[in-house]
Structure 1
Amino acid sequence: MRSIVLTKGVPDFSEGAVSFDEDGHLERGKTPTVMNPNDKFAVQAALQTRVRHGGHVSGMSMGPPGYADVLKEAMETVYTDDNYLLSDRELAASDTWATAITLCAGLETYQEEVGDIDIVFAGFKSADGETGQTGPQTAWAMDWPIVTHVLALDIDPDERVLRAKRLVEGDIDEIETVEVPLPCFVVTDPEFEPTYRKASHRLTHKQLRAETEERAADHEEHLTTWNHEDLNLDPDYIGLDGSPTIVSSVDPIPKAPSEREATMIDPGDEDEMSEMLEEMQPYATGAGD
């Protein structure tokens, strides 16, 4: 069983980590990059598949050289055997369509040079784009079946099929059971939860974690970087030139008004500390709710 996990680096939107300029625009260069939160569910699905069925798992991302750290995180969490970064200046400013074309070329190159892929795992949507288009568009470019909003899955290696439960949202949320042939794409839902019911699965999980600690320490030795020439991509169809999306305007993020008042106290002042404890005590007992 050979799987690929697609992951992306996004700005760290946690409180205090995001940097904005004076106009309220995001400063990516000053904001830390982390793995896209929704990709972590795809990572968990890939790990569950590997624990249950064995095989080889690779991580793949498209972005600047700094995304190697995101792939390192994938190695540490999904225990990838190796990682692949699609990166050069010709790929900059790609929209979802140009990204999908590039990822498709990356997957095809992988199959030519490494081995046939059984499953590609992708996250629901990115925290910075929020389109949810890249996974489905890449599946379309590969001409592979795709299952989205996956809550649970398993593989029948003899029949070469994937069976999954997926969330169908509507007036009433329903769970749909589907079956698709391999190779295929899987887009996980944020409600996906991996399960390891057998003792053998839990032991395998523990063994993989131990093996990965040494590999992740030298993750760069297991990283392959491909540029657009390696992928045989025409610059006219990738990056900004190959992106049909037109952004008409970018609005600054409004700054939230300061509504909280802060009282500064000296930890060494007993009177001030006593006043603070008296103020906080009702909340500690639940009376201040």
Structure 2
Amino acid sequence: MRSIVLTKGVPDFSEGAVSFDEDGHLERGKTPTVMNPNDGFAVRAALQTKVRHGGHVSGMSMGPPGYADVLKEAMGSVYTDDSYLLSDRELAASDTWATAITLSAGLEKYQEEVGEIDLVFAGFKSADGETGQTGPQTAWAMDWPIVTHVLALDIDPDERTLRAKRLVEGDRDEIETVEAPLPCFVVTDPEFQPTYRKASHRLTHKRLRAETEERAADHDDHLTTWSQEDLNLDPDYIGLDGSPTIVSSVDPIPKAPSEREATMVDPDEETEMSEVLEEMQPYAAGAGD
């Protein structure tokens, strides 16, 4: 069983240091980056598959050199065997379409040089784009079946099929069970929870964790970087030139105004504490509703 888990770096908005160029494009190389939160569910699904069925799991991402840290994080959590970074200035400012073209080229090169892929795991959507398009578009480019909103799954290696429970949202949410042949794309739902019911699975999980700690410490030794030329990509179909999406402008999200005024009180000052007590007494008596 050979799997790929796709992961992406997204701006760490908590740092407050998101950088844009003069045209409104996100400068990822100058912005603190973390793993896309929704990719964590894809990571867990890939790990569950490795624990239950064995095999080889690779992490793959497209982005600037700094995304190697995101792949290293994936190695530490999904216990990937190796990492592949698709990185080149020609790929900058790609929308979901150009990203899917690049990722599909990376998957095809992987199959040519490493081995045939059985499963590709992708997150539901990214925290920066919120489109949910990249996984399905990449599956379309590969002409592979795709199962989305996956809540639970298992593999039949002999029949080479995937059986999954997926969430169907509508007037009333329902869960349906579907089957798909391998190779197949799996897009996990945020409700996905891995299960390890057998003692052998839990022991395997523990063993893989121990093995990966040493591997992740030397992540660069397990990282392969492919450029635009390595992937043999036509410049007209990648990066900004190959992106039909047009961003007219980007506005920073303003901080919410404070709705309350705060008064600093020294607990050692009797007068100030008396004022606090006087202010609170009506509420304690039920008169301040």
Q: So what's the TM-score if we normalise by structure 2?
A: 0.89
Worse overlay, 22-31 or 191-200: 22-31
**Distance in 2 (alpha carbons) for counterparts of 1:117 and 1:102:** 17
Q: 1:221 to 1:254 in 2, by over 3 A?
A: same
Q: 1:253 to 1:51 in 2, by over 3 A?
A: same
Q: 1:283 to 1:28 in 2, by over 3 A?
A: farther
Offset at residue 272 of structure 1 (A) = 6.9
Q: 1:20 to 1:84 in 2, by over 3 A?
A: closer
Q: Is the 8 A contact 2:15 2:32 kept in 1?
A: no
Q: Is the 8 A contact 1:25 1:253 kept in 2?
A: no
**Distance in 1 (alpha carbons) for counterparts of 2:199 and 2:275:** 54
Q: 1:270 to 1:195 in 2, by over 3 A?
A: farther
Percent identity at matched positions?
91
**Distance in 1 (alpha carbons) for counterparts of 2:181 and 2:91:** 32
- Max Rg structure: 2
Is structure 2 residue 229 aligned with structure 1 residue 236? no
Offset at residue 277 of structure 1 (A) = 10
Q: Which residue of 2 aligns with 1:246?
A: 246
Q: Which residue of 2 aligns with 1:31?
A: 31
Q: 1:64 to 1:274 in 2, by over 3 A?
A: farther
Worse overlay, 5-14 or 81-90: 5-14
**Distance in 2 (alpha carbons) for counterparts of 1:238 and 1:105:** 11
- 1:166 match: secondary structure: strand
Q: So what's the TM-score if we normalise by structure 1?
A: 0.89
Q: 1:112 to 1:280 in 2, by over 3 A?
A: farther
Worse overlay, 197-206 or 13-22: 13-22
RMSD: 3.4
Offset at residue 258 of structure 1 (A) = 1.9
Worse overlay, 228-237 or 23-32: 23-32
Offset at residue 27 of structure 1 (A) = 7.5
**Distance in 2 (alpha carbons) for counterparts of 1:20 and 1:155:** 43
Is structure 2 residue 189 aligned with structure 1 residue 189? yes
Q: Which residue of 1 aligns with 2:170?
A: 170
Count of matched residue positions in the alignment of Structure 1 and Structure 2: 289
**Distance in 1 (alpha carbons) for counterparts of 2:218 and 2:282:** 52
Q: 1:10 to 1:283 in 2, by over 3 A?
A: farther
- 1:213 match: secondary structure: helix
Q: 1:284 to 1:7 in 2, by over 3 A?
A: farther
Q: 1:261 to 1:213 in 2, by over 3 A?
A: same
Q: 1:246 to 1:25 in 2, by over 3 A?
A: closer
Alignment gaps of 5+ in structure 2: none
- 2:15 match: secondary structure: coil
Alignment gaps of 5+ in structure 1: none
Offset at residue 236 of structure 1 (A) = 1.3
TM-superposition CA deviations, 1:45-94 (whole Å, max 9, x none) = 00000000000000000000000000010000000000000001000000
Q: Is the 8 A contact 2:25 2:93 kept in 1?
A: no
- 1:249 match: secondary structure: coil
**Distance in 2 (alpha carbons) for counterparts of 1:113 and 1:24:** 38
Q: 1:286 to 1:153 in 2, by over 3 A?
A: farther
